[in-house]
Amino acid sequence: MWEREQDLYGNSRQGFAKENFRCPFKYQGQYYDSEVELRYNRFRYYHPETGRYISEDPIKLLGGFNVFAYVSDTNASMDILGLYTVYRRKRMEKIIQKKLRT
């Protein structure tokens, strides 16, 4: 078992991670690629220091007007594939409503 404390853009907080333990799994759906020192989201690379992707969204404007953005609010949404924002609150509301109906 392991845990990590991160800031809003997926950077590990200093002093939290053990020096000898390097886990490649980072922020939601991201895998650390040590060759390029970036996080990979299945369709493109994310740069945690800028909080943006380094390439355009492959689905262009269907993913939003800012084609390099990760998400506007990391507390309420995520972008697991690197294609579009998934809103956590709406997902949770759907799960709760479904459970209440059964």
Domain span at residue 69? 1-102
Give the pLDDT score at 22.
Answer: 64
- 12-71 tens-digit pLDDT: 666 555 544 566 666 666 788 888 988 888 888 888 888 888 888 887 777 677 787 776
Give the pLDDT score at 60.
Answer: 75
Between CA 52 and CA 15 the distance in angstroms is: 24
Total number of domains constituting the chain = 1
Residues 6+ apart with CB under 8 A from 7: 13
Q: How far is CA 22 from the centre of its chain?
A: 18
Angle at 77 between CA 7 and CA 24, to 5 degrees: 50
Question: Do 10 and 49 meet the contact criterion of CB atoms below 8 Å apart?
Answer: no
Which residue shows structure tokens 């059964």? 102
Question: Do 53 and 47 meet the contact criterion of CB atoms below 8 Å apart?
Answer: yes
Give the pLDDT score at 58.
Answer: 82
Look up residue 5 and give its amino acid.
Answer: E
Q: Is the pLDDT of residue 88 over 70?
A: no
DSSP designation for 87:
E
Q: Is the pLDDT of residue 92 over 70?
A: no
Between CA 72 and CA 75 the distance in angstroms is: 9
Total-model pTM: 0.54
